[in-house]
Chains A and B, each alone.
Chain A
């Protein structure tokens, strides 16, 4: 009697264990794959800009300086200089020496992407970052070009006997995504 009961229990257990094997052959489902790109910002260096000879007056305008920005979030670009008042200083090749221009270097935004600014508004450059382009939309893979031009008013007070020195200024282009 006890042997019969044990055999019956073993048979039931074997049946229960074998049941999932039948289920697996009939199962179907789906896998959720999620992801989010890291906010990423890339910007290109404009070239060093070397000015040729200047004339007395305010007609000294640089060629357009292009900064290319690629961003997958809303972004903006600011510009500032290493000199508080935006005055170009005399540079002997390795450091600033005595002497600076009488008037600050001015800047103006001249283009964003394909949009050209018809009448660029020039303003003095300073060490406080000034907004060139704000609230800009996500860019394509080619990025968005932002154009800036510089203008220098030259007066008779500006020393022209430089020898091998030049007048120089560092211009910072700050690219950032919004908060």
Chain B
């Protein structure tokens, strides 16, 4: 972008050639746990090509082509349907590799599953030629479309997706295995639990056989017998579930802080709030999570904004590192500016992807109110405080008025002071008198009574009453002191 003439300079950093997939369409009858025909991927270019393979569920667009997205959620869904082996490899020039796929899940649409295995190929990056301002790097993606049809019998499938322990009563432990039904019929999974310490099972038991319905997750609870005393230490809980042809397993390490004592978190959403809801402002959703358990725990909250009665407009997932014991944490997110209307904010507390607590709040977005309207709103919202403050101020003013009135009346009753009869001595003179009295006091204290006595009759000029009183008092005190000391001395002489 040096400001020169626009010139497209194709830089042939890579050799031509490409990738081939075969078969590029698979139409197969399958069952869960079965395999589909293998796909051969071939490098027809003169450079090594790194290939990654990803199954994705797809719909169909109007041109008949598969329509899919490559988001993380979409990739997760695809990986739950097919397991590819290998899913990443590098092909030398002319090289080929066969990729196998195992069906993991029941039909996704009717009695079929539809999608693509997307093979993404990239050649080794070359260095751009000098003078390059921008580079467009191509990735070649070839899709093998698949159409999988299943037997027209109910498909039973499910897996254990989470496991946790909890202090269900004093010195009593309970374990919760969460099972998700991935099939199209309700079923009772067979779930077993083992508590392992130092590689040895210290407990084995089975969860109750109860139904979980299709597309739902539920927790199965197993309370350990009270007679089982597990001492302080580290353990691993292992749950194994069998549902249809699938066997699944999950581990949960935990530590007991005493015999049958398991610190456990207990998270729940406390409340939800939305701020900055004037149109033109960017609203903010805040959800408060409370931990009433005995162990800190991380929290994941999904915050969703929807038009009231409509589909979600925006969804954010907020992860909180740890919510302290007996503490709270706030999951907060800002949103895009919203036009006028009615909206709903929802907070969902997630545990292993499942929602365990929900709070919703409806709010409206209106134009920003005028300054006067805001002042009125503020007063309305704080009417009690405003009234109390006004009363307080009124009472204060009343007391002040009474005090001033009383003072005025007292002044009126006092006889007039003859200020002209007591001219105030000039300041230096007063200071001299004070200094003299101070010297006298020192003489008396130094027992130089003769001199002190001689000088005790300090002349005190006319002063205003307050000043005069002070000086006379001081002189009287000095004289009394001289007199007292003289008596003491005379007694000592006798």
Show the binding face of A for B, using Cβ within 8 Å: 38-57, 59-63, 65, 67-68, 70-71, 73-74, 76, 78, 82, 88, 91, 105, 127-129, 131, 134-135, 150, 152, 154, 158, 160, 162, 166-179
Contacts and interface: CB of A to CB of B under 8 A. Distances in A.
B4 A131 contact: no
A134 B65 contact: yes
Interface in B100-140: 114, 116, 118, 120-121, 123, 125-126, 128-129, 131-140
Q: Which 9 A-B pairs have the closest CB atoms?
A: A134-B63, A50-B11, A44-B18, A176-B143, A178-B64, A41-B24, A42-B20, A52-B9, A167-B134
Contacts of A68: 18
A152 to B, nearest CB: 7
A56 B3 contact: yes
A49 B24 contact: no
A158 B2 CA distance: 11
Contact of A50 (B10, B44, B116): B10
B141 to A, nearest CB: 4
Contacts of B126: 48
Given A38-B23, A45-B16, A45-B123, A50 B65 contact: no
A61 B7 CA distance: 8
Contacts of B70: 127
Contacts of A52: 7-9, 131-133
Nearest to A60: B6
Nearest to A76: B65
B143 A174 contact: yes
A105 B136 contact: yes
A51 B5 contact: no
B21 A41 contact: yes
Nearest to A43: B18
Given A52-B133, A54-B133, A47 B10 contact: yes
A4 to B, nearest CB: 65
Interface residues of B, number: 61
B14 interface: yes
B411 to A, nearest CB: 78
A170 B132 CA distance: 16
Chain B at the A interface: mostly helix, strand, loop or mixed?
loop
A57 B18 CA distance: 35
Contacts of B210: none
Interface of B: 1-14, 16-25, 44-45, 60-61, 63-67, 69-70, 114, 116, 118, 120-121, 123, 125-126, 128-129, 131-145, 147
Contacts of B123: 45
Nearest to A73: B25
B247 to A, nearest CB: 33
A56 B20 CA distance: 41
Contacts of A135: 63-65
A90 B26 CA distance: 41
Given A60-B6, A173-B141, A179-B66, A54 B134 contact: yes
B135 A45 contact: no
Contacts of A70: 20
A173 B19 CA distance: 12
A74 B7 CA distance: 36
B13 A53 contact: no
A168 B65 contact: no
B4 A53 contact: yes
Nearest to A54: B1
Contacts of B11: 47-50
A63 B8 contact: yes
Given A53-B1, A178-B65, A45 B18 contact: yes
A74 B60 CA distance: 14
B8 A51 contact: yes
A177 to B, nearest CB: 5
B2 A47 contact: no
Nearest to A93: B127
Contact of B4 (A48, A55, A170): A55
20 contacts: A39-B25, A44-B17, A45-B16, A48-B125, A49-B138, A51-B8, A51-B9, A54-B133, A59-B6, A63-B8, A128-B69, A129-B67, A134-B61, A160-B2, A169-B134, A171-B137, A171-B138, A171-B139, A178-B64, A179-B64
B1 A160 contact: yes
A23 to B, nearest CB: 42
Contact of B20 (A41, A51, A67): A41
Nearest to A77: B65
A78 B61 CA distance: 12
A48 B135 contact: yes
B69 A179 contact: no
A120 B337 CA distance: 35
Contacts of B20: 40-42, 70
A54 B135 CA distance: 12
Contact of A53 (B69, B120, B133): B133
Contacts of A40: 20-24
Given A40-B24, A171-B137, A173-B140, A55 B63 contact: no
